[in-house]
Structure formats: structure tokens, C-alpha cells
């Protein structure tokens, strides 16, 4: 059965919010090749929030949330956050990213993917968890 966008088929209940999370466990976050697409939108939606946490900080690493349309290489998509989020601050603390206020940047079309893009020195980064808040749109 194909996915049915709740924004189109359940008008009475208002906004349909949900979260998508990805975990790079253990020492996987210290390796740049571990950062990849982690979710593909089955229908139109908007990114509302971005939070990451980790158990051991990196030396000077950062993470960016990227929108990657179908047939686009990761790293060639659109940055959804207005800036990167540091992975070198206090461990076990929620670190929020600021979502772009440009609608076309924060909106995902059906088939667009979310990916993490890293930069800096990732050494020692452990147990990176990212949660992205979204809502469906028509």
C-alpha cells in the first residue's frame, strides 16, 4: 500500500508532527565515511528542529543537516541548518541546530533524503545521536 500523507487525508486533526532519529554508535562517529543519508521523505514535509548529543566529544568536529534530492550526490545537497553544530562541546548535552527560515530550504519533497555532513576533526567522537523534528504539509 502506498504512503498516504496525513496532511492530505486527515484534515480534522491539524498538524502531524513526527521525529526521525539516527544513531552512530560506539566509535563510528569518529569515521567520516559513517555519515550518510538516513531517511527519505515519503511525502512533502518540513524540518522543524534538529538536536544532537554524544557521549564523548570530538576534537573540533561539526555536523550539518543536508537535504539531498533524488539523483543528487550526498555533499551536493542543500544545508538545512543556518550553521554547523559543534561536536566538541560538553558530552551528554543536547545541542540544537538552527533551521533555515527559507521555506524552500526546510521543505522536503517526496523522495528527498536527509543526510549528515561532518567536518573538522572527529577524533574521539562516540555515540552520536541525532533527532530531527518534522511535520507533514500538503
How many H-runs (helices) and E-runs (strands) does the chain carry? Answer: 2, 10
Count of structural domains, the chain: 1
Task: Encode pLDDT of 93-137 as tens digits.
Answer: 999 999 999 999 999 999 999 999 999 999 999 999 999 999 999
Beta-bridge partner residues of 130? 22, 52
Q: How confident is the model at residue 55 (pLDDT cuts 50, 70, 90)?
A: very high
Is pLDDT of 1 > 60?
no
Is pLDDT of 5 > 70?
no
Residue 40 lies in a domain: yes
pTM of the model: 0.90
Q: Are 20 and 87 in contact (CB under 8 A)?
A: no
Residue 105 lies in a domain: yes
Residue 39 lies in a domain: yes
Residue 77 lies in a domain: yes
Domain with 45, as residue range(s), is: 32-136
Residue 36 lies in a domain: yes
**Higher-scoring residue by pLDDT: 99, 14:** 99
62 contact partners, CB below 8 Å, separation of at least 6 = 84, 85, 86, 87, 118, 119, 120
Residue 5 lies in a domain: no
Residues in the chain: 138
Q: Give me the pLDDT at residue 3, please.
A: 64
Residue 130 lies in a domain: yes
CA distance 63 to 112: 19
32 contact partners, CB below 8 Å, separation of at least 6 = 118, 122
Residue 100 lies in a domain: yes
Is pLDDT of 92 > 90?
yes
Q: Give me the pLDDT at residue 16, please.
A: 87
Amino acid at each position: 500500500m502506498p504512503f498516504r500523507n496525513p496532511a492530505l487525508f486527515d484534515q480534522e486533526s491539524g498538524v502531524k508532527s513526527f521525529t526521525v532519529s539516527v544513531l552512530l554508535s560506539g566509535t563510528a562517529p569518529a569515521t567520516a565515511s559513517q555519515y550518510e543519508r538516513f531517511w527519505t521523505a515519503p511525502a512533502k514535509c518540513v524540518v522543524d528542529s534538529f538536536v544532537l548529543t554524544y557521549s564523548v566529544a570530538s576534537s573540533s568536529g561539526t555536523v550539518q543537516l543536508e537535504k539531498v534530492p533524488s539523483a543528487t550526490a550526498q555533499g551536493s545537497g542543500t544545508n538545512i541548518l543556518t550553521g554547523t553544530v559543534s561536536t566538541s562541546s560538553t558530552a551528554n548535552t543536547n545541542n540544537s541546530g538552527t533551521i533555515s527560515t527559507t521555506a524552500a530550504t526546510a521543505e522536503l519533497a517526496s523522495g528527498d533524503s536527509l543526510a549528515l555532513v561532518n567536518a573538522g576533526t572527529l577524533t574521539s567522537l562516540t555515540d552520536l545521536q541525532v533527532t530531527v523534528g518534522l511535520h507533514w504539509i500538503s
